[in-house]
Amino acid sequence: MAKTAKKPARKVTKKASRKPAKKAAGRAPAKPRFVSVAVVVSDRNRSVRWYTENFGLEHTVDMDHWQVVGEKGQPTALHICQVSEYDDKAPLEPGNTGIAFRLPGDFVAACAALAARGVEFSVPATKAEWGWWGMVKDPDGNEICVLPAE
């Protein structure tokens, strides 16, 4: 019987797949990184001024519609979204935004300083059983909760 030569093993390379990776059993999915939340406004320039002048936030991004205020070097920010730029019939969304800012120093004095600058409070500095809080309104009626610094 004649011996047959073995063919050399072929190197198999894995081609890149366009399918999403399968979740490995027992491993949590990668956590997303929070970037910004939109605040719907009628005049983005007025709102950028309001957030920068009253809360000391910085105007970190200025690209036509994409206006962002926040703190440089921090991962979160507010996207000031002028609703009329994408739909001139879209309504504003006044009311509680669910956004909260912490005010440094004496909380009651910080709230008084905001009020002295003309910031409207829908809920003044209030002592609750769980701690101090208040609620301010931006020029479009978006409500922002204010809390003392930790």
What is the reported pLDDT for 53?
95
One domain, residues 76 and 103: no
Q: Which residue has the tokens 């409070």?
A: 121
Domain hosting 39: range is 33-85
One domain, residues 98 and 135: yes
Q: What are the 10-residue block averages of pLDDT along the chain, 150 residues in total?
A: 54 54 68 84 95 94 90 89 87 91 95 96 97 97 94
How many domains is the chain partitioned into structurally? 2
Q: Is residue 148 part of a domain?
A: yes
Q: What are the DSSP E strand ranges found in 8-141?
A: 36-41, 58-63, 66-70, 77-82, 95-103, 120-128, 131-137
Look up the pTM and report it: 0.74
One domain, residues 108 and 80: no
What is the reported pLDDT for 89?
87
One domain, residues 78 and 50: yes
Give the CATH number for residue 47. Answer: 3.10.180.10
